[in-house]
Amino acid sequence: MPEGHSVHRIARQFDRNIVGRVVAASSPQGRFAEGAEMIDGRAATAVRAVGKQMFLEFDDDLWLRVHLGMYGAWDFAGEVVADPTIASANGRMGQTNQRGTVIDDPVMDAAGENSLTSIGAPRRTRVHVRMSEQTTGLAGDEADWPPPVVGQVRLRLLTDVTCADLRGPTACALQTPDEVSATIAKLGPDPLVDDVARGEEEFTAVVRRKPTAIGLLLMDQSVVSGIGNVYRAELLFRARQNPHTPGREVPDDVVRGIWRDWVRLLSIGVESGQMMTMDDLSPAQWRAAMARRDDRHWVYHRAGLPCRVCGTSIVVEEAAGRKLYWCPKCQA
DNA sequence: CATCGATGTTGAG
DNA sequence: TCAACCTCGATGG
């Protein structure tokens, strides 16, 4: 489910709440029992996010690699030092659910946008808790610690005060430092990891020599990290670029423009927790778009609807097993 | 309540 | 090229 921005936000969450602490690890579901046993009792020492992958380091060069795939998620519970930009009004944080106590949680407006720009002294706020039928209303009390396991939890990481549950990941594996390096080496540049100017050169050089359609190249994690189906469609529309044009035929300045736009959209996504691809909307327009739900992109998920610019019907087609949305006139 | 589809990747054929 | 993986909100009856 998450594209690159979510993974970076989750990594922040780990940095604030897990890194620097000893964790108790378990695999309630059982499918990562051996790995959990290896982690159990070690301190988390660092976290890295590259593209859609997250790497969590533990004592003695033990790394955990997690890729959430399409429906994976981390649920945080207990005492959570929230990212100040996290939208928590409804208990959601990107792909991460939160329950329990949040520290330094900013006030959010109804649209889940951060309405505070400065961060005051840490304070405690109870976040909305999704109560199951069996719970007794004691959420946040000692009676709830550790939180009951709900559903299939591949991996549970528990500190004294914070619980992180991993469910439904595509990948969850232990790696050596060399294996981590090898995994990362296969990934294209990530604007939040690599030097942005160098990333632009790498991305441009690769795209400009490939016969593959630009619409496919943007989804190729070895070409550029972190872009998924939503950002692909939106980046191409914003560039007014036909998705079928071979990479090598896309003008140099257009390729560079797409990279620079990705740098911008990723940054906005990480800071806001929203996939804001219509960032020229005013706050009021944005709130209205959010309220209408599903009405916040230029072309993504808008098949058959009129293009916001020219009114032409947005087209959807299947490309490499994924839906590709675009405007045949604006992106001719 | 059953079914569908999804912001993703891998590996078999 | 396609099924499998795995979860859950949206949708329809």
pLDDT tens digits, one per residue of A143-201: 678 999 888 899 999 999 999 999 999 999 999 999 999 999 999 999 999 999 999 99
Q: Which of A10-14, A76-80, A223-227, A251-255 has the lowest mean pLDDT?
A: A76-80
Q: Which of A3-7, A158-162, A277-281, A317-321 has the lowest mean pLDDT?
A: A277-281
* Residues contacting A11, CB < 8 A, separation 6+: A47, A48, A49, A54
Residue A126, pLDDT > 60, answer: no
Q: What is the pLDDT of residue A221?
A: 96
Alpha carbons within 13 angstroms on the beta-carbon side of residue A203 total 34
Average pLDDT over residues A24-42: 94
Residue A130, pLDDT > 60, answer: no
CA A8, A27, A159, A147 torsion: positive or negative? positive
Q: What is the pLDDT of residue A154?
A: 93
Residue A136, pLDDT > 80, answer: no
Residue A4, pLDDT > 60, answer: yes
Residue A132, pLDDT > 50, answer: no
Chain B, protein-covered positions (CB within 7 A) = 6-10
Q: What is the pLDDT of residue A71?
A: 87
Distance between the alpha carbon (CA) of A260 and the C1' atom of C9, Å: 33
Cβ contact A209:A247 at 8 Å? yes
Distance between the alpha carbon (CA) of A264 and the C1' atom of C6, Å: 32
Q: What is the pLDDT of residue A298?
A: 94
Q: Which helix (H) or strand (E) holds A250?
A: none
Q: What is the pLDDT of residue A175?
A: 95
Distance between the alpha carbon (CA) of A325 and the C1' atom of C2, Å: 21
Collapsed DSSP state (helix, strand, coil) of residue A227: coil
- pLDDT greater at residue A231 or residue A113: A231
Distance between the alpha carbon (CA) of A303 and the C1' atom of C12, Å: 20
Q: What is the pLDDT of residue A20?
A: 97
Would the Cβ of A156 be found within 7 angstroms of any atom in strand C? no
Distance between the alpha carbon (CA) of A75 and the C1' atom of B10, Å: 25
CA A87, A88, A91, A94 torsion: positive or negative? positive
Distance between the alpha carbon (CA) of A128 and the C1' atom of C3, Å: 39
Distance between the alpha carbon (CA) of A170 and the C1' atom of B10, Å: 9
Percent of chain A residues past pLDDT 90, beyond the cut: 67
* Degrees to nearest 5, angle at CA A315 with A310 and A321: 150
Q: What is the pLDDT of residue A100?
A: 61
Collapsed DSSP state (helix, strand, coil) of residue A299: coil
Collapsed DSSP state (helix, strand, coil) of residue A112: coil
Would the Cβ of A148 be found within 7 angstroms of any atom in strand C? no
Q: Do β-strands A73-81 and A96-103 pair in parallel, antiparallel, or remain unpaired?
A: parallel
- pLDDT greater at residue A46 or residue A295: A46
Distance between the alpha carbon (CA) of A252 and the C1' atom of C6, Å: 40
Q: Do β-strands A96-103 and A315-319 pair in parallel, antiparallel, or remain unpaired?
A: unpaired
Nucleotide minimizing C1' to CA distance for residue A300: B7
Q: What is the pLDDT of residue A304?
A: 92
Nucleotide minimizing C1' to CA distance for residue A318: C1
As a whole number, the mean pLDDT across chain A is: 83
Would the Cβ of A292 be found within 7 angstroms of any atom in strand C? no
Average pLDDT over residues A39-51: 97
Residue A212, pLDDT > 50, answer: yes
- Taking residue A27's Cβ as centre, other Cβ atoms within 10 Å add up to 20
Nearest residue by alpha-carbon distance to C1' of C2: A321
Average pLDDT over residues A50-64: 97
Q: What are phi and psi of A233, to 5 degrees?
A: -60, -45
Cβ contact A93:A2 at 8 Å? no
Name the DSSP class of A256.
Answer: H
Would the Cβ of A330 be found within 7 angstroms of any atom in strand C? no
Per-residue confidence band for A124, with pLDDT thresholds at 50, 70 and 90: very low
Average pLDDT over residues A278-297: 73
The residues close to strand B, meaning Cβ under 7 A, are: A 1-3, 6, 51-52, 67, 69-71, 170-171, 219, 221, 228-230, 275, 321-323
Residue A93, pLDDT > 80, answer: no
Cα(A96)–Cα(A18) distance, integer angstroms? 15
Q: What is the pLDDT of residue A103?
A: 62
Return the structure tokens found at A299. 């072309």
pTM for this model (two decimals): 0.86
- pLDDT greater at residue A306 or residue A98: A306
